[in-house]
Amino acid sequence: MYKRQGQYCDELVPDGRGGQEPRFTCNCYLQQRNDAYPVLQDLASVFRGMAYWASSNVVAVADMPASASYLFHPGNVVDGRFTYAGSARRARKTVALVSWNDPGDQYRAKVEHVEDGDGIARYGIQQTEVTAFGCTSQSQAQRVGQWILLTSRLETETVSFKVGLDAAVVMPGAIIEVADPARAGRANGGRVRSADGRTVVVDRPVVVREGDTLLLNLPDGTAQRRTISRVDGQGLTVSADWSQPVQAEAVWSVESADLKTQLFRVVSVTESDGLTFDISALEYNQSKFSAIDNGTRIEARPVSVLPPSVQPAPTDVTLATYSVVDQGIATTTMVVAWQQAASAVAYTVEWRRDNGEWVTAGRTGSQSLEVRNIYAGTYVARVRAINALDVASLPAYSAETRLTGKTSPPPVVGTLIATAIVFGIRLDWAFPTGPLDVERTELWWSKAPDRASATKLGDFAFPANTHTLMGLAAGATFYFWARLVDKSGNVGAWYPSGNGVLGMSSDQASDILSYMKGQIGKTQLAGDLLSAVDSIAPPMAGSDEDFAGDGTVYAGIVSTQSVLEEAGRAIARQVTTMQATVAQSSAAVQVAQQAVAEQGGRLAAMYTIKTQISANGRISLAGIGFGVENDKGVIESQVLITADRFAVLHPNGNNLFMPFVVQGGQVFMDSAFIADGTITSAKIGDSIQSSNFVAGQTGWRLSKSGLFENNGNGAGGRRVDTSALTQIYDSAGTLRVRLGVW
């Protein structure tokens, strides 16, 4: 069982970005002790499971596709009674906020918004919030939300019943089939009278025909199904042997195209009085799993023939085409037609070309529907009838039909331009002129110019023609391609056809510094660091405890602590100020610490040290500040320094060495090693040379006088250039070429 669960977790599913990823992964760090059982429950929740205690063991089960393990019918249920109950309307959630940890943002918590459009249309906005345990994938968080919403909308019914000891073979998490004739609308099960090999004699007449399915409970406590190949009264012959001999009194049921058993997942098995057990189970819809992973259609299981729940399908679905010329362009239209179905008020139509994906053509109240601008290929259509209670029929299919339509793919994108912006790249593309049936534009990107390594950046619905990538490093380079997809799903050629369009985030220091100036200037830390130190009030001078001096000449230290809580806002602040004053001149040192938390999500933690002098009406200050701020979901930590001069001092005996100084808006470095540098404009004060330069031997050197010397590898000769003369020497040092003025 655990092997199947592990395989289900490891299966690759679409990640929503054009790639694939394992269905479930767990990336967690347990930071504190806890009881084992709650921890196991948390771990089981990763794969949509639960853990329970049974037979001195902890058993884990998962909500995943599974086959039914046992069949229940009034014949093996106490008093033949099934009790059904539905979930409350408020329990049917339509919007889920799923918390997960983003590895691309230092594993900070993010919230994924997931909604169920069909559920919202029926029940309105009913929100739930959940934390995806150990989840570090946005698409996995999306699947968690989809599972919660689809489960609450599709699996709304519970069933409970009592069984004897012979039927108490199921465990929580098992899938069971319930054949309830009261709900089905006709007899669909009972107990076996006798069996001989493949032939089973049932205990009552039943509506059945060849090709239907017979279900039986076998002696080992499992349910098995076989296709019926012959019907002779109450004797049913199947097409294959049973895995075990069928015993008399075994429970049976039949399934046909219009009536199937109900599926439930066992939630609890409780021992009752005597030798009876109470079983509770929740409705089970297997089609939800494919809908969660791949967005496929939810298929309704026909569990009753009571009118009007069974809607007859339409008949005679046919395909035809006609062509028209519009503004000089010939277009081909496919016509899907069918015969009316009883009780139908509407029809839904789908089609596919050359065994591709099914495409929804729409819903109509008439008996035909047109699909314009088709391409040549082999087409199949399917039509479902829908009655007044919005119950859909099984689909009716057309025959495969070869149609001649458009043969040319969508045109190529006109242009694709990548523009550098600060910490980002803006992409703009243009569409070709003329009539278009474009549905979307695909953008792909790669670090390399070769498209073979490219991945999809996204799909952009027509007529969108711009997209901005943010959060890139300065000077980051990528290559981009674009292609068009039309409304029929046909894909156009790439633009460009070869190497991609090169895009690079801005590497202009002036633009980046201007942007950062604006960003830093908006923070509270910058405002606090640049503000003047508040003076100590002179009337407090002369205090025996805190101050010395009088109102003209005094020195003092003031330390204040304050806390504030009001209207969803909490502030803690501590400030210590030292000040010395003579007449109108003063010097002060201030250390401030502050923590702020607001209900709207704004957070700030700051620590500043400021020194200040005030003389002749002028204030000069120096300081350093440390802070982390979260404003509207944007978290930023920074260290800011304000000073006329900032220097790094290196003690070297009695000598003072300064490897790094910032003064007057300029940066001075004595020596630097840079692995990868981008320089907008460089001025060389003396010379620039390779690290292996030896005059007349190896390396190269360019001096500000204009002299350039370039030596070959080893003793490979050299070249010397001035503004008026070029000289080339061989490996022996002999001048071989001289060009210019000498």
Q: Is the pLDDT of residue 164 over 70?
A: yes
Q: What percentage of residues in the chain have a pLDDT greater than 70? A: 92
Lowest mean pLDDT among 37-46, 188-197, 359-368: 37-46
pLDDT for res 693? 83
Q: Over 70: is that where the pLDDT of 547 sits?
A: no
Alpha carbons 133 and 127: distance in angstroms, whole number: 19
Mean pLDDT (the chain) is 86
Q: State mean pLDDT over 405-416.
A: 81
Res. 635 pLDDT band, cuts 50 70 90? confident
CA–CA gap between residue 115 and residue 95 (Å, rounded): 4
Secondary structure letter of residue 534 according to DSSP: P
Name all contacts of 283-290 with Cβ < 8 Å and 24+ positions apart: 283/154, 283/155, 283/156, 283/157, 283/158, 283/159, 284/155, 284/175, 285/150, 285/154, 285/155, 286/65, 288/147, 288/150, 288/151, 288/154, 288/155, 289/64, 289/65
Burial class, 35, CB count within 10 angstroms (exposed 0-12 / middle 13-18 / buried 19+): exposed
Pick the range with the lowest mean pLDDT from 318-322, 473-477, 518-522.
518-522
What pLDDT sits at residue 554? Answer: 66
Contact (CB, 8 A) for 500 and 480: yes
Picking from 82-96, 115-129, 392-406, which range would have the lowest pLDDT averaged per residue?
Answer: 392-406
Predicted pLDDT at 548: 55
Query: CA–CA separation, 89 vs 119, rounded Å?
Result: 11
Residue 308: what pLDDT?
59
Question: If you average pLDDT over residues 679-691, what whole number do you get?
Answer: 78
SS3 8: helix
Average pLDDT over residues 166-183: 89
Residues 312-332: what's their mean pLDDT? 80
Closest residue by Cα to residue 250 from 189, 313, 173: 189
Task: Calculate mean pLDDT across residues 706-716.
Answer: 77
Please give the pLDDT value at position 542.
47
pLDDT digits (tens, 9 = 90+) for 283-296: 999 999 999 998 88
Non-local (6+) Cβ contacts of 693 within 8 A are: 699, 700, 701, 711
Are 318 and 338 within 8 A, CB to CB?
Answer: yes
Residue 190: per-residue pLDDT: 93
Rounded Cα–Cα distance for residues 386 and 258 (Å): 15
pLDDT at 12 over 90: yes
Contact in structure between 80 and 74 (CB atoms under 8 Å): yes
State the pLDDT at residue 23. 92
Could you tell me the CA-to-CA distances from 115 to 13, 112, 145, 475 in Å, in that order? 20, 10, 8, 38
User: What pLDDT, in 10s, does the model give residues 270-280?
Assistant: 988 778 999 99
* pLDDT band, very low/low/confident/very high, at 200 (cuts 50, 70, 90): very high
pLDDT value, residue 537: 57
Closest to 58 in 3D by CA, of 39, 73, 85: 39
- Tell me, what's the pLDDT at 36? 86
